[in-house]
């Protein structure tokens, strides 16, 4: 805990709180203020704060805690009930953006591999960002919220498999079917183990929980860390493990007072402290040149990312329920990217440098301009997601022909 880190945290929390409160006063999501705080304090404007190991660690902990809390709030039975719509939304929201990203990059002179990796970059949905936005709009526990979160988890799995295929092709020039099969087997084994633990092991432990000296919270942390570690072992993001661990902590499995004590602690740590650091830190990666060619490419890529998710996810949902505004809500709800693209693009850049230095490839797998365009796209879609989602929800529930989703939304608002 250095003096610089303490000062950075102080600035982030003060500015994020002030701007978030200002946005909330006008009925806008608090998260917009946290994103704007990062723009003001970070490299885009004042340059007072930049990326650092301490900030990155706290940001990771922020999405870790918030995904556990999201898991606690969501009913696993609801997720399973809406499994097929979630898979339809995930497939449509993955394939169409991938195609549009590929076509856009090729149109701007990108190589085959560059187009494939850019397509992969814009097809990802950041589950942590979506869960925060859904929670802020009080629709996370509706069936639409369950579909979005379920689709985001499936999207993460598709991204893992797709990235494994592309990285294997870049290294060897061929598709490594054995390696892909091993990845799929690990993911299936991970979810099978999750179901076994959730149904047979964890309930026996949670019924004996007590909260003396905060030990119930310790138990929850242990479960979250264990599941996050196992998720990382199979190649999934740690936040998937944290979310699934949160599914174990349910009201019907333990004393209600202990459940609320755990929930309050995770909520306070994430939304009150660590999450503003995460959203502010997203802008710290914004470094790009103000050239006409770059700005046009970044703009077209961002439009392709938005249209791909909106149309792809909407079409995926329309196969199961023909409701235009619910399709729009799901499309906008899947549009936020966040930090996942930064991680994926960084992995590709690292491999590209290794292959270039060894002479295995002649052109980079991802250029610096393409990397910067992906980061800018991720930030802009994250900034737009709460605004477009709020607009679509309000529009869907303002007419005469309202779905059951609107009744659930009204109930949550009045709590």
Confidence class for position 241, pLDDT limits 50, 70, 90: confident
Rg (CA), the chain: 21
Q: What is the mean pLDDT of residues 41-49?
A: 86
Name residue, tokens 């590929």: 102
The answer to whether 5 and 55 have CB atoms below 8 angstroms apart is yes
| In contact, 145 and 330? CB cutoff 8 Å | no
Token duo for residue 231: 């998720």
Q: pLDDT (tens digit, 9 = 90+) per residue, 165-202?
A: 887 777 766 666 777 788 788 888 888 888 888 777 77
Please say whether the beta carbons of 246 and 257 come within 8 A: no
pTM of the shown model: 0.80
| pLDDT of the residue at 88 | 92
pLDDT higher than 80, residue 323: no
pLDDT of amino acid 307 = 93
Q: What is the pLDDT of residues 350-378, one digit of tens each?
A: 778 888 887 777 788 888 888 888 888 88
147 touches 79 (CB < 8 A):
no
pLDDT value, residue 105: 94
pLDDT of 410 over the 70 cut: no
CB 95 within 8 A of CB 308: no
CB atoms within 10 A of CB 53: 8
Percent of the chain with pLDDT over 90: 14
Tell me which H or E stretch contains 270.
Answer: none
Q: Which class for 286: exposed (0-12), middle (13-18), buried (19 or more C-beta within 10 A)?
A: middle
**pLDDT grade, residue 12 (50/70/90)?**
very high
The whole-chain average pLDDT of the chain stands at 83
What is the tens place of the pLDDT at every residue in 247-283?
Answer: 887 776 677 788 888 889 888 888 889 888 988 887 7
- Taking Cα atoms as reference points, which of 64, 58, 51 lies closest to residue 284? 51
Q: How far apart are CA 239 and CA 237, in angstroms?
A: 5
Q: What pLDDT, on the 0 to 100 scale, is given for residue 220? A: 86
- Picking from 97, 83, 212, 100, the residue whose alpha carbon sits closest to that of residue 154 is 83
- Cβ contacts of 92 within 8 Å, gap of 6 or more: 311, 312, 313, 314, 315, 316, 317
User: Residue 71 has which token pair?
Assistant: 């898991």
**Integer CA distances (angstroms), 56 to 263, 293, 314, in order:** 24, 31, 34
| Rounded Cα distance, 38 and 45, in Å | 9
Amino acid 104: pLDDT: 95
Q: Does the pLDDT value for residue 392 go beyond 90? A: no
Long-range contacts of 215-222 (CB under 8 A, 24+ apart): 216/258, 216/261, 216/262, 217/261, 217/262, 217/265, 220/68, 220/245, 220/249, 220/262, 220/266
**pLDDT score for 14:** 94
Confidence class for position 115, pLDDT limits 50, 70, 90: very high
Q: What is the pLDDT of residue 400?
A: 63
> In this predicted model, what pLDDT tens digit does every residue of 118-172 receive, in sequence order?
998 888 877 777 788 888 778 877 888 889 888 888 888 888 788 778 877 777 6
More confident residue, 26 or 173: 26
Secondary structure E strands in 141-286: none
Residue-wise pLDDT tens digits, 75-113: 778 878 888 999 999 999 999 999 999 999 999 998 888
Instruction: For 253-292, give the DSSP string.
Output: GS-HHHHHHHHHHHHHHIIIIIHHHHHHHHGGG------H
What is the spatial distance between Cα 41 and Cα 32, in angstroms, rounded to a whole number? 14
φ/ψ (deg, to 5) at 47 = 70, 25
Q: Which fold has domain 19-413?
A: Na+/H+ antiporter like fold (1.20.1530)
Q: Is the pLDDT at 56 greater than 90, yes or no?
A: no
- The answer to whether residue 408 scores a pLDDT higher than 70 is no
């Amino acid at each position: 805990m250095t003096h610089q880190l303490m000062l950075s945290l102080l600035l982030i929390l003060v500015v994020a709180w002030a701007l978030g409160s200002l946005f909330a006063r006008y009925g806008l999501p608090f998260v917009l203020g946290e994103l704007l705080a990062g723009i003001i304090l970070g490299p885009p404007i004042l340059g007072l704060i930049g990326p650092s190991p301490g900030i990155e660690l706290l940001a990771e902990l922020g999405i870790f805690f918030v995904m556990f809390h999201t898991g606690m709030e969501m009913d696993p039975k609801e997720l399973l009930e809406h499994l097929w719509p979630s898979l339809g939304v995930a497939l449509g929201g993955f394939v169409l953006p991938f195609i549009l990203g590929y076509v856009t990059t090729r149109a701007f002179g990108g190589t085959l591999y560059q187009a494939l990796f850019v397509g992969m970059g814009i097809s990802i949905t950041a589950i942590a960002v979506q869960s925060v936005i859904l929670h802020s709009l009080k629709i996370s526990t509706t069936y639409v919220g369950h579909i979005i979160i379920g689709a985001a988890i499936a999207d993460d799995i598709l991204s893992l498999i797709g990235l494994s295929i592309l990285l294997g092709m870049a290294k060897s020039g061929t598709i490594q079917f054995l390696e892909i099969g091993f990845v799929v087997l690990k993911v299936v084994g991970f979810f099978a183990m999750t179901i076994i633990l959730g149904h047979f092991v964890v309930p026996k432990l949670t019924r004996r929980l007590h909260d003396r000296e905060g030990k119930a919270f310790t138990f929850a942390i242990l479960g979250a860390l264990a599941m996050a570690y196992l998720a990382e072992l199979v190649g999934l993001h740690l936040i998937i493990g944290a979310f699934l661990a949160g599914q174990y902590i349910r009201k019907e499995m333990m004393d209600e007072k202990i459940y609320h004590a755990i929930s309050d602690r995770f909520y306070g740590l994430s939304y009150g402290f660590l999450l503003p650091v995460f959203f502010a830190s997203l802008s710290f990666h914004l470094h790009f040149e103000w050239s006409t060619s770059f700005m046009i490419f970044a703009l077209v890529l961002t439009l392709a990312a938005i249209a791909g998710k909106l149309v792809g996810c909407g079409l995926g949902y329309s196969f199961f329920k023909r409701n235009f505004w619910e399709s729009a809500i799901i499309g906008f709800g899947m549009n936020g990217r966040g930090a996942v693209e930064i991680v994926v693009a960084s992995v590709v850049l690292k491999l590209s440098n290794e292959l270039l230095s060894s002479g295995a490839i002649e052109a980079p797998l991802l250029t610096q301009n393409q990397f910067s365009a992906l980061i800018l796209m991720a930030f802009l879609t994250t900034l737009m997601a709460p605004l477009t989602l709020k607009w679509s929800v309000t529009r869907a529930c303002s007419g005469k022909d309202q779905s059951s989703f609107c009744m659930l939304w009204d109930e949550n608002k009045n709590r």
